């Protein structure tokens, strides 16, 4: 029976399983260990977390480009952290080849600040704020929600 299963699912019983990282393991890793992860391992972690892919990425990047951009010196709270890299937002990002871009921070619609590079990387993979998980919606999605709310209100007024 087991051999039928392996044949049916095209699985080699002698093959070593690919290592997967849990969220706990990721949080336990040092920065050097995380930087050492291969790109496909990081993508696998995003997929395991159920983060959006494909068309959703494109729409979130369009919305990301609309976020307000600031200079890191404009942040009054000098202890505020970028929850993506855990570095202080009021300082230029250390991992930047472009000195001007290193000073750029973005403010999300839910009023959270991130280094530009960190936020860009995040929103390429996800449609939600890394801090509060508020979903970033496109103009079309917002219009659809308003239209649906108006239809619901009309329906309720007609049948109540």
**Claim to verify: residue 23 and residue 98 sit in the same structural domain:** no
**Claim to verify: residue 27 and residue 105 sit in the same structural domain:** no
**Claim to verify: residue 39 and residue 9 sit in the same structural domain:** yes
pLDDT band at 10 (very low <50, low <70, confident <90, very high): confident
**Claim to verify: residue 98 and residue 116 sit in the same structural domain:** yes
Q: How far is CA 148 from CA 4, 86, 151, 153, in A?
A: 50, 39, 5, 9
**Which two three-digit tokens encode residue 160?**
């109540």
**Claim to verify: residue 29 and residue 18 sit in the same structural domain:** yes
Looking at per-residue pLDDT, the higher value among 59 and 133 belongs to 133
**Claim to verify: residue 34 and residue 59 sit in the same structural domain:** no
**Claim to verify: residue 73 and residue 151 sit in the same structural domain:** yes
Residue 150's domain comprises: 52-160
Average pLDDT over residues 71-88: 74
- Which residue intervals of 17-138 are DSSP H helices? 23-28, 31-35, 39-48, 55-64, 99-102, 116-125
**Claim to verify: residue 60 and residue 77 sit in the same structural domain:** yes
**How many whole angstroms separate alpha carbon 63 and alpha carbon 74?**
23
**Claim to verify: residue 9 and residue 68 sit in the same structural domain:** no
**Which two three-digit tokens encode residue 127?**
């449609």
Average pLDDT over residues 98-120: 78
- pLDDT reported for residue 118: 84
**Claim to verify: residue 58 and residue 118 sit in the same structural domain:** yes
How distant is the alpha carbon of residue 48 from its chain centre?
A: 13
Q: How far is CA 89 from CA 2, 41, 100, 121, in A?
A: 54, 27, 15, 16
CATH code: domain of residue 154: 3.30.40.10
**Claim to verify: residue 83 and residue 132 sit in the same structural domain:** yes
The proportion of the chain whose per-residue pLDDT surpasses 90, expressed as a percent, equals 0
- pLDDT reported for residue 55: 40
Total domains in the fold of the chain:
2
């Amino acid at each position: 029976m087991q051999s039928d299963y392996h044949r049916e699912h095209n699985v080699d019983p002698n093959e070593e399983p690919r290592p997967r990282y849990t969220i706990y393991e990721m949080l336990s890793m040092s920065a050097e260990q995380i930087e050492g992860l291969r790109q496909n391992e990081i993508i696998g972690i995003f997929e395991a977390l159920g983060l959006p892919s494909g068309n959703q990425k494109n729409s979130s990047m369009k919305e990301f480009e609309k976020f307000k951009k600031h200079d890191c010196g404009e942040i009054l709270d000098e202890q505020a952290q970028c929850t993506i890299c855990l570095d202080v937002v009021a300082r230029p990002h250390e991992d930047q080849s472009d000195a001007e871009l290193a000073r750029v921070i973005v403010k999300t619609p839910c009023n959270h600040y991130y280094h530009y590079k960190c936020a860009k990387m995040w929103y390429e993979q996800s449609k939600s704020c890394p801090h509060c998980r508020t979903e970033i919606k496109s103009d079309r999605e917002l219009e659809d929600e308003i239209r649906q709310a108006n239809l619901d209100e009309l329906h309720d007024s007609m049948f109540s």
